[in-house]
Amino acid sequence: MARKRLFLFDTTLRDGAQTNGVDFTLADKLAIAKMLDALGIDYVEGGYPGANPIDTELFSEHRKLATAFTAFGMTRRPGRSASNDPGLAALLEAKADAICFVAKAWDYHVRVALETTPEENLASIRDSVRAARSRGREVLLDCEHFFDGYKANAPFALACARAACEEGARWIVLCDTNGGTLPHEVERVIPGDRVGIHAHNDTEQAVANSLAAVRAGARQIQGTLNGLGERCGNANLVSIIPTLKLKPEFAERFEIALSDAQLKKLAHASHALDEMLNRAPNRHAPYVGESAFATKAGIHASAILKEPATYEHVAPDMVGNRRKLLISDQGGKSNVLAELERIGVAVERGDERIGTLLEEVKRREAAGYAYEAADASFELLARRILQKVPNYFDVEKFDVNVEQRHNALGQRVTVSLAVVKVRIDGESLISAAEGNGPVNALDLALRKDLGKYQGYISGLELIDYRVRILNTGTQAVTRVLIESKDETGERWTTVGVSPNIIDASFQALMDSIVFKLVRSGA
Ligand SMILES: [Zn+2]
């Protein structure tokens, strides 16, 4: 039986841009559009031309993408003609392959929000779709609040959809605008190969609702990368895509444009978006998260090494992710061996130093270290025990000073000053730096002058700093996790533990610098 084609519509740049704290520049939008294009998404909705300068500029020229680059906007305003509506005119001028109109499909909204009649709403839909079709554009109609509207007045909601269909719209998209609909309700969606689903995640059902719609007949799925979107987000295409490609129930009945090779780029695309938004990727994200294929317990780990399918629902490399066996107090030798293989430290299976490393990891984890989260510190520890890590430099002493005083304007300010004395090849180097806090000052002073190694760490940047107070039984200690990044975009995490927060931070900072030197072949 021939498989039916499903179409993917990404609205990261339009609906996803509604997320709190997300502001895409034109360059961001172009970069994300190219990434989605390379991924094989059928439609990329770029924005709302006429609504803001960036979106207007985005659609001011043809962007030469393989995807159907789509402009979003409203149907003509009530009481105006299509030719006398500046908003519609701007939309029709946009250099877009497709136009996605949004229209009310709930009579209550038509009355209260638009303050117009159902007849005028239908006429606005007809006129707008006709105008866009006459300009040669493919047309989609987003039926806002469709599911609530359908419950309240089904004939009217359907009349809105039908009006657009009759004027030649390619897709009628049923929107669960406030995200409150549940999968069994969505499954009552009208079947038909011109229906799309646009689900929001307010009950965490956006992915389930999208799949339910497909089962019921919808052939287009709208969503965003990483589920970006206002409130609780939109349907997450990063979870939907592998489900469609890898789960037999969908894969046997449907096909999407993404090839297997493109699917392998999914984890990277997901992380690249987070990178652009300057936020840490969700470790527990299905399919693509760092922990999505992480196994902790030793007994599971040894089974996974023998036969991955025993504990994995799909193969991680299909989506560009990788298997991760956690080094932990529950883990055994197989975890350590697998992890060493991954980081490229060659060792014989029977090498007794593996036992030494495992004991050391267990001892340190009991003291509060967390190597599962700090892969770079684990790698350094392993290399120190199994190979040799050069002693690049010694920190002879450091001094961190926190002072609260009045500044020249009479305001109370707190300033931190760190002085670090480093010895490299018998020579002492002293650096001082001010920071907005003691750890920041220490970090800056430590990285200010490392003599001949300075060139290797110039691109090093501290991007995340997490502190936890732990009770290890005998005393309260502080665990510090530091995430760093270099000029290539590589990220790594290091850990430090001490009763003193500055000392714990110092250990993690030192590991980060030494890790970078080792990786750079200094
Ligand atoms: Zn939406």
CA distance 372 to 212: 37
Residue type, 385: I
Ligand 1 centroid from CA 27, angstroms: 23
Rounded distance between C-alpha atoms, residue 150 and residue 249, angstroms: 28
| Residue pointed to by tokens 């500029």 | 57
Give distance in angstroms: CA of 273 to centre of ligand 1: 19
Residue type, 34: K
Tokens of 501: 């927060």
Distance from Cα 268 to the centre of ligand 1, integer Å: 25
Tell me what pLDDT residue 474 has.
66
Extract the runs of DSSP E, i.e. beta strands, from 189-340: 195-199, 220-223, 254-255, 294-295, 324-325
pLDDT (0 to 100) of residue 271: 87
Non-local (6+) Cβ contacts of 248 within 8 A are none
Residue 262, C-beta contacts closer than 8 angstroms, at least 6 positions apart: 38, 39, 40
**Cα of 16 from ligand 1 centre, angstroms:** 8
pLDDT at res. 488:
86
How far apart are the CA of 371 and the centre of ligand 1, in A? 40
DSSP characters for 139-202? EEEEEETHHHHHHH-HHHHHHHHHHHHHTT-SEEEEEETTS---HHHHTTSPP-TTEEEEEB-T
Distance of CA 57 from the midpoint of ligand 1 (Å): 22
Q: Could you report the average pLDDT of every consecutive run of 10 residues in the chain (522 residues)?
A: 93 94 91 96 97 95 96 95 93 97 96 94 98 97 96 95 96 96 88 90 98 95 98 98 97 97 94 81 92 74 72 91 68 77 85 89 86 87 91 95 93 94 94 94 94 93 88 80 89 93 96 95 86
pTM above 0.85, yes or no: no
C-alpha 167 – ligand 1 centre gap (Å): 23
User: What is the CA(176)–ligand 1 centre distance, in A?
Assistant: 8
What pLDDT, on a 0 to 100 scale, did the predictor assign at position 310? 74
CA of 198 to the centre of ligand 1 (A): 7
Angle between helices 118-134 and 86-93 (to 10 degrees): 30
What pLDDT is stored for residue 300 in this prediction? 67
Cα 224 to ligand 1 centre (Å)? 10
How many of the other CB atoms lie within 10 Å of CB of 420? 26
375-386 and 353-366 helices cross at what angle (nearest 10)? 140
Ligand 1 mean position to 310 CA, how many Å?
A: 39
For residue 468, the SS3 value is strand
* Exposed e or buried b per residue across 188-214, where buried means at least 16 C-beta atoms within 10 angstroms of its C-beta: ebbeeebbbbbbbbbeebbbbbbbbbb
Residue 344: what pLDDT?
Answer: 85
Give the Å distance between the CA of 60 and the centre of ligand 1.
24
Output the CA 381–ligand 1 centroid distance in Å. 48
* Cα–Cα distance list, 189 to 102, 155, 325 (Å): 19, 14, 43
